[in-house]
């Protein structure tokens, strides 16, 4: 194992599509909601629209910009009613996640979760994955005023961890999440779990794009801060 790594000072993880393969469940909940309310949508385009942004932004896009806070809350409750029940039995860390987190923990790297999801979902998944003891902070959409791609959630997480944003590395999978991390001045590793690597390469400024955590070690992230070509490992 690599010893005495100075950077990153902290690693921040998005949740959905990064730590856990929850996006199929999220897509299904949106399709069910739209069908229940007679809202037309293009199924093939849906991942590009709903994976990453906040619920409120998506609801306003499809139901109208003039939704009241009460209407947003009512639709949001309907949207999330069955999500936790459905994903609970299937919640497992993505391949390589636990090994990577344990490697960072052994080097005393501060870790946190910063998700655009609602707190009930994020906290439920952290617990279901059995990863709660590793994270010093868990932030969800209720913690911020400006959702991704605004950098607020990553800047606020760095502040809570007591580290400089430029000393942080972020793991993301969505366009808005990658943009938020880069706007916060952080290094960003994009996991090609939700969108293909070639699309992420073309549409984002991620510092590194990998197929999964199985291709990443702490040395990989350390290399990003040294200006070296990142060292990756082949999936086992």
Q: Do 84 and 99 fall into the same domain?
A: no
Q: Do 172 and 183 fall into the same domain?
A: yes
Within-domain flag for 60:
yes
- pLDDT tens per residue, range 93-138: 999 999 999 999 999 999 999 999 899 999 999 999 999 999 999 9
According to the model, what pLDDT value does residue 54 have? Answer: 85
In 68-158, the DSSP E strands lie at 110-114, 137-139
Q: Do 102 and 215 fall into the same domain?
A: yes
According to the model, what pLDDT value does residue 46 have? Answer: 94
- pLDDT tens per residue, range 29-84: 999 999 999 999 999 999 989 988 888 999 999 999 999 999 999 998 888 877 88
- Indicate whether 87 pLDDT > 60: yes
Among 201, 202, 208, residue whose Cα is nearest residue 230 = 208
According to the model, what pLDDT value does residue 2 have? Answer: 42
- pLDDT tens per residue, range 10-31: 999 999 999 999 989 989 999 9
Cα angle vertex 226, ends 223, 230, to 5°?
A: 25
- Indicate whether 235 pLDDT > 50: no
**Is the model's pTM score more than 0.75?**
yes
Q: Which residues contact 52 (CB under 8 A, 6 or more apart)?
A: 116, 148, 173, 174, 175, 176, 177
Q: Do 222 and 161 fall into the same domain?
A: yes
Neighbours of 162 (CB within 10 A): 10
> Between these two residues, 1 and 187, which has the higher pLDDT value?
187
- pLDDT tens per residue, range 172-200: 999 999 999 999 999 999 999 999 999 99
Instruction: Say how many domains are in the chain.
Output: 2
Q: Do 98 and 34 fall into the same domain?
A: no
CATH number of the domain encompassing residue 39: 1.10.150.240
Helix orientation angle between 175-183 and 152-161, rounded to the nearest 10 degrees: 50
Q: Do 98 and 44 fall into the same domain?
A: no
Q: 168-172 and 187-191: which strand pairing? A: parallel
Q: Is 185 left (phi over 0), alpha (psi -120 to 50) or beta?
A: left
> pLDDT class for 231, splitting at 50, 70, 90?
low
Domain that holds residue 50: 23-88
């Amino acid at each position: 194992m690599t010893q005495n790594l100075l950077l990153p000072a902290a690693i921040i993880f998005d949740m959905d599509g990064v730590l856990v393969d929850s996006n199929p469940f999220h897509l299904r909940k949106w399709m069910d909601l739209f069908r229940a309310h007679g809202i037309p949508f293009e199924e093939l385009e849906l991942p590009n629209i709903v994976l990453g942004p906040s619920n409120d932004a998506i609801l306003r896009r499809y139901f109208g910009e003039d939704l009241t806070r009460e209407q947003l809350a009512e639709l949001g409750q309907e949207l999330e009613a069955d999500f936790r029940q459905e994903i609970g039995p299937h919640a497992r860390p993505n391949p390589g996640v636990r090994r990577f987190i344990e490697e960072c923990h052994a080097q005393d790297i501060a870790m946190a979760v910063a998700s655009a999801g609602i707190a009930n979902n994020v906290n439920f998944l952290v617990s279901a994955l059995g990863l709660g003891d590793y994270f010093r902070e868990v932030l969800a959409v209720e913690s911020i005023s400006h959702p991704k791609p605004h950098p607020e959630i990553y800047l606020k997480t760095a502040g809570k961890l007591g580290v400089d944003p430029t000393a942080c590395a972020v793991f993301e999978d969505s366009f808005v999440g990658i943009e938020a991390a880069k706007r916060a001045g952080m290094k960003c590793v994009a996991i090609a779990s939700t969108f293909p690597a070639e699309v992420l390469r073309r549409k984002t400024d991620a510092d590194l794009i990998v197929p999964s955590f199985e291709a990443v070690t702490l040395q990989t992230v350390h290399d990003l801060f040294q200006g070296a070509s990142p060292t990756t490992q082949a999936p086992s």
